Amino acid sequence: MSTEPGQEAVDVVIVDDHTIFRSGLKADLDERVRVVGEAGTVEGAVEAIEQLRPRVVLLDVHLPGGLGGGGREVLTRCAPLLQTVRFLALSVSDAAEDVVSVIRAGARGYVTKTASGREITDAVLRVAEGDAVFSPRLAGFVLDAFGTQSVADDELDKLSARELDVMRLIARGYSYKETAKELFISVKTVETHVSAVLRKLQLTNRHELSRWAADRRIW
């Protein structure tokens, strides 16, 4: 798929310690994404990210170098950039502790390396727009880790329990159909709840909702 007229490709840095994987991924990503840099270690990643300031970093969870913290350490050291640079974890690991670790450190999503180039491209674009994106079976780890977290925010008091459930799933990148299936309700009911959530929170679309939820760690 080509970029739409007037739409610029999203600048990306790929961080992975396997050169052959980085090469293969670059070949699989389509023209909506422009790879501007690569790194294979914690130190190399931090240096590249600070110099290039990409919109999105595709970040492996397990990396050599640094103090042994891997992708989480990269996120921690790049914390001052998290408002402008989005991080999407990309790993062979689907372990709950890996997922939760990088999300707590500031990653906006987590997909496994079984995803296709098209799926990863789509995930990059969604993360660049402020969405939180997860491979389907991984989303539950995030909900378990953050879903019952107490959030001192008066705005949440405006939402019903069901509206809060819908908001969390939509903010994490679920489609209306996927949300309906997850909550055992109709797509029409999901649409109604989303409209109510946007109105109560004074937001205009699901991208703003994702950013609102991500800023408050309500996933």
**φ, ψ dihedrals at 58, nearest 5°:** -90, 110
Q: In 106-183, which ranges are continuous DSSP H helix?
A: 117-128, 139-146, 161-171, 176-183
* Cα 205 from Cα 198, distance rounded (Å): 7
* Cα 126 from Cα 133, distance rounded (Å): 7
pLDDT number for residue 146 = 58
pLDDT number for residue 130 = 85
pLDDT band at 120 (very low <50, low <70, confident <90, very high): very high
Q: What is the pLDDT of residues 78-94, one digit of tens each?
A: 988 988 999 999 988 87
Segment 2-11 shows an average pLDDT of 71
Residue 62: both structure tokens together: 């397990």
Question: Do the beta carbons of residue 172 and residue 219 sit within 8 Å?
Answer: yes
Question: How many other CB atoms are found less than 10 A from the CB of residue 150?
Answer: 6
Distance of CA 147 to the CA centre of its chain: 16
* List of residues 6+ apart from 137 with CB closer than 8 A: 94
pLDDT number for residue 46 = 96
* Cα 175 from Cα 181, distance rounded (Å): 10
pLDDT value at 196 more than 60? yes
Q: What is the pLDDT of residues 33-88, one digit of tens each?
A: 999 999 999 999 999 999 999 999 999 999 999 988 899 999 999 988 988 999 99
Burial of 172 (0-12, 13-18, 19+ CB in 10 A): buried
DSSP letters of 6-38?
Answer: TPPPEEEEEE-S-HHHHHHHHHHS-TTEEEEEE
pLDDT number for residue 30 = 93
**Percent of the chain surpassing pLDDT 90:** 46
Q: What is the pLDDT of residues 133-191, one digit of tens each?
A: 887 767 666 656 555 444 435 677 788 878 888 888 887 778 888 888 888 889 999 99
